[in-house]
Structure 1
């Protein structure tokens, strides 16, 4: 935590914590460990849309720990538009066998611990998690956040200061010679984002 604003935000979130079971989030994070995550949702508005799935992978010492992956499907507590489900390749029966959003978020938070969070347009995914986590804890996630599109932008601008930087996910993958996995579900996107992060982190 470098800036004064980050420190103030951290302590403010800690002060608002109402559920001591989540106190571990405010502990010192393990060294050289990160969690890369992604959500699939019914839309792009955290205020009205719902989470359909959450997936994450851990990174430790520049290695993606696929044996410690997190991947859950959420059972909606209201009727979901069929088109919103199809976009993500999910079937209605997949969602019906899912777990509650409260259990999904609780399990996710225990999976990430105090590790820094990495993602592509991470602000949205964190906002979706916080929508439910705040109800469970009284506060929002205090974890450090690392946005891979910002890392990529800084990397490209360093090479071509006056150039246009294409920040689309597939364009970043192609430019960094990272293979595109078959379908864009939450787990595949999390793994591909982890590969982007590692490539940029080590440049």
Structure 2
């Protein structure tokens, strides 16, 4: 397996740095703000429903999440929510655009070692809002380690196939590392590539799937394990 790999691609959110905990904290504050219209679980269920309805037209990221929060507030309150609370919701959403970039354990050390080794082309393959993801990558201080950065609208077999065409490699030369089996691993395995799954402490419910074994899939607890395995 390892001997054919020429490109190692990394997911960004919750693989290189922490992301989902900030969204969960914003959602907690949001449900508190709307507590007169339902308990936290009820509001969260309605919010997720709105997110899924908006996914095709809005995609992923903080901006889409903010619009979904506003739409949900209007719906659960039967349009009685105050302008002041709508403004607070918008500010909650904007706070996600300024969230601190906290690199996960071993990330920079591993990228530095891979770069110095020179055996692989290193790629970021992430999804979400273009401007927000570009901003986070810049603030992370990691861009110099990567040979290519790809920000996708979604992570599908079609999008990964397109990425491989851009990189001019075949599937057996490509390995994807990420925290989401659904987005980072399953589509890559389906087109013939390799995957390294590193679970994160929390997961957005849209990304949750059952774990599985596969001959081209390696499970790790931390990115720290990568260099010894390679």
Name the one with the larger strand percent: 1
TM norm structure 1:
0.29
TM norm structure 2:
0.27
